[in-house]
Amino acid sequence: MSSEYNPPQDPLVILHHDHELLFVDKPSGLLSVPGKGEHLADCLIARVQAVFPEALLVHRLDRDTSGVMVFALTPHAQRHLGLQFEKRQTKKTYLARVFGRVEEREGTVDLPLIVDWPNRPKQHVDFENGKPAVTDWKVLRYEDNATRMRLFPQTGRSHQLRVHMLELGHPILGDPFYATGAALDAPRLMLHAESLRLRHPDGGKGITIKAKCPF
């Protein structure tokens, strides 16, 4: 992560709010939780708790990824959602713009990942020690030397989508960790958490919340 941290100061965008759940649209460039050091204190959960002091963390998105994040508003909801994420019962979709032209129209990347210790927080493929990581993907359309894709992670490993697209040979545009050369030429990481589907902690009914893609 770069030493300069200048998160966007946009007002909080609330996508859905009820007695148990709060869904917000995280902007790119804002940490989900505080980093180490006073200069990394500004983050989404701090901003959320300034308005909803009872809000509890359930999951996180990378600093440079935008899109849907859910917070629990009761300990019961936090436990309920935590188990859904742990058991892979939630359904997430992402939009990405990747470098180059992805010739096949859809596919699956099944490559185990582990932290690359000398270069952390980067991750890399490791067939012996890595944890299972699976991403389904689909091409939406072709752009100038880029492909717009929808990604469906079946697991939730750190940097999973970023490393899996790199392994496809098409890094996500603007990725400060994994893109090089012309693939870095983008105003931000072109990765957006488009929708999140889960079961509501009060009654178990399915709920899907979406956030409009900003790119």
Q: Which residues are catalytic?
A: 62
Report the alpha-carbon distance of residue 190 to residue 174 in Å, rounded. 6
Report the alpha-carbon distance of residue 33 to residue 42 in Å, rounded. 8
Report the alpha-carbon distance of residue 178 to residue 116 in Å, rounded. 12
- What are the beta bridge partners of residue 99? 146
Distances in Å between the Cα of 159 and the Cα atoms of 7, 172, 193 are 20, 11, 13
Report the alpha-carbon distance of residue 148 to residue 167 in Å, rounded. 17
